[in-house]
Amino acid sequence: MNTTTAKSSIKKAIKEAAAIDPSSIIDFFEIDVTDIQFDLSLIDKKVFSEEKNKSLRQDRIFRFHNSVSLTTREITFNDKTYIAIPIGVEGMEISSTGTLPRPTLSLSVKPEGVKALSQLKAVLEKIGDLTGAKFTRIRTFAKFIDASFPDGKNSAKLISKIKNHDPDPDAILSHDIYFIDRKTNESAQTLSFEMASSIDLENFGVPKRLVIQDKCQWQYRGEGCCYTANLTEEIHGVSNSEGSAFKNNFKTNRSAPPVATSSDERIFGESISNANGILTFSQGSNAQHAEPWATEEEYSIGDQIYITKNGVEYHFVAKVAHESSISNLPPNKSFWYSDQCSKSIKGCKLRFKGVLPFGGFPAVNKVQ
């Protein structure tokens, strides 16, 4: 969408809002559980289904509308399908008092006949609630929804109800984003959640970084940690001169190799003569190195793969030989060893030599 298109769409939305007889206002709702569902322990429970060779993300965003007076069926807007369910949002109004709104989301928990709601309920059963999920409300007019077949997916019957239908996915009144903060009510029929704006700092502590003596606060393989790619052999805690298996990982754009588990157990032995790992050095040197996980791949013991989330790589090593599928998606402990940092100085020393990028404060003393 360029500037000219955006201006045209905005003008159409404003003109419709000022019309004597505007078309119905429709609220589209999206609940994105991507961030909270990616918790590695939750992936192991296989909450979501996977389509062959496709991303899992489509199953992590649930789209609904509550315009049942217009239709009790699906509505397509911007090529996205929204399901009709009993869902309500209150308290989104912005006041002039300076207080940020904390809207309330209420939705039915009876999933009969609604596949998307059944999937959302499955998430609730696994994680307890939706705290941390991203909530989006897109408000527009009915006349701007997508066309009917063959140009769109909406039904001809629905479009026939709309006067002066003019499909335009960019003609919206508001695009509001909140994050679910806490569950406020639960009954046999409904669930209610309180939401907060991303700039609502009410529950944040200052300073945000805590002074902790013996625990690193950096994201492993993320910002601050520096254990990522393009490391030199001199500062890497696992490399050795007896083979080229680990040295190959220091080529440009190659990921730093997996080292140890969260309990500081080495995954591979340090050398052929030093069998101090769960797997031998030879199993590591003969294995496939640091490739993205994929379905229908044959993995051997010691093969290394990773999954990327928000720019951070999560690395795993094959525990047994197998053909990959959703049933053995990492970090399934029956099939994979997880490369995790213990967040301790020992874990840091396993990965670095010399000056350590440890994110704790080992020199501070505890105050009684």
* Burial annotation 262-288 (CB, 10 A radius, 16+ → b, else e): eeeebbbbbbeeeeebebbbebbbebe
Within a domain: 147: yes
* Whether residues 152 and 18 fall in one domain: yes
Token look-up 């961030």 returns 35
Cis peptide before 362 (omega within 30 of 0): no
240 and 186 in a single domain? The answer is no
Query: What pLDDT band is residue 202 in, cutting at 50, 70 and 90?
Result: low
Looking at the domain assignment, is residue 2 inside a domain?
Answer: no
Task: Based on the fold, state whether residues 141 and 18 are members of the same structural domain.
Answer: yes
- Average pLDDT, stretch 348-356? 84
**Over 60: is that where the pLDDT of 54 sits?**
no
**Arithmetic mean of pLDDT, 310-333:** 88
Would you say 297 and 323 are in contact if contact means Cβ atoms under 8 Å apart?
Answer: yes
Other C-beta atoms within 10 Å of 258: how many? Answer: 24
> Considering Cα of 327, then 112, then 140, then 183, what sign does the dihedral take?
negative
Tell me the backbone φ, ψ of residue 195, rounded to 5 degrees: -115, 160
User: Where does residue 202 fall: left (phi above 0), alpha (psi -120 to 50 degrees), or beta otherwise?
Assistant: alpha
What domain range includes position 302? 233-349
- Domain termination site, one of 169, 196, 223: 196
Look up residue 329 and give its two tokens: 């998606």
Q: Which phi and psi (to 5°) does residue 360 adopt?
A: -100, -170
CB 313 within 8 A of CB 333: no
Look at residue 43 in the predicted model and tell me its pLDDT.
45
CA distance 74 to 83: 5
Q: Within this chain, do residues 240 and 101 fall inside the same structural domain, yes or no?
A: no
Q: Are residues 154 and 245 in the same domain?
A: no
Q: Is residue 265 part of a domain?
A: yes
- Assess contact for 77 and 169: CB atoms under 8 A: yes
pLDDT at 46: 41
Note every long-range contact of 109-113, with CB atoms under 8 Å and residues 24 or more positions apart, other chains counting.
109/188, 109/189, 109/190, 109/191, 110/189
Q: Decide if pLDDT at 145 tops 80.
A: yes
What pLDDT shows up at residue 366?
60
For residue 52, list its beta bridge partners: none
Same structural domain, 190 and 72: yes
Does some domain include residue 220? no
pLDDT at residue 308 is higher than 60:
yes
Cα–Cα dist 178/29, whole Å: 11
In a domain, 248, yes or no: yes
Look at residue 23 and tell me whether its pLDDT is greater than 80. yes
DSSP state, 30?
E
What is the domain-level CATH number for residue 342? 2.10.10.20
Between 82-96, 239-253, 351-365, the lowest mean confidence (pLDDT) is in 239-253
SS3 string of 326-356? HHHCCCCCCCEEECCCCCCHHHHHCCECCCC
Q: How big is the chain, counted in residues? A: 368
Q: What is the mean pLDDT of residues 259-281?
A: 83
234 pLDDT above the threshold of 90: no
Confidence of residue 49 (pLDDT cuts 50, 70, 90): very low
The pLDDT of 112-130, averaged and rounded, is 66
- Asked, for residue 162, whether it belongs to a domain, the answer is yes
Amino acid at site 60: R
**Whether 188 and 278 share a structural domain:** no
Instruction: Calculate mean pLDDT across residues 23-44.
Output: 72
Q: Nearest Cα to 259, choosing from 348, 356, 169? A: 348
Co-location of 159 and 58 in the same domain = yes
What's CA 93's distance to the chain center, in Å? Answer: 28
Structure tokens that stand for 178 in this block: 């909140």
State which of 109-123, 164-178, 225-239 shows the largest mean pLDDT.
164-178
145 & 272 share domain: no
Q: Do both 48 and 165 map to the same domain? A: yes
Q: Do 264 and 153 share a structural domain?
A: no
pLDDT at 319 over 70: yes
Asked, for residue 355, whether it belongs to a domain, the answer is: no
With a cut of 80, say whether residue 361 has pLDDT above it. yes
d(CA 139, CA 115): 24
Query: Is 205 among the domain residues?
Result: no
Sign of CA dihedral 48, 52, 56, 57: negative
Domain co-membership, 44 together with 182:
yes
Counting the structural domains of the chain, the total is 2
Helix (H/G/I), strand (E/B), else coil: 207: coil
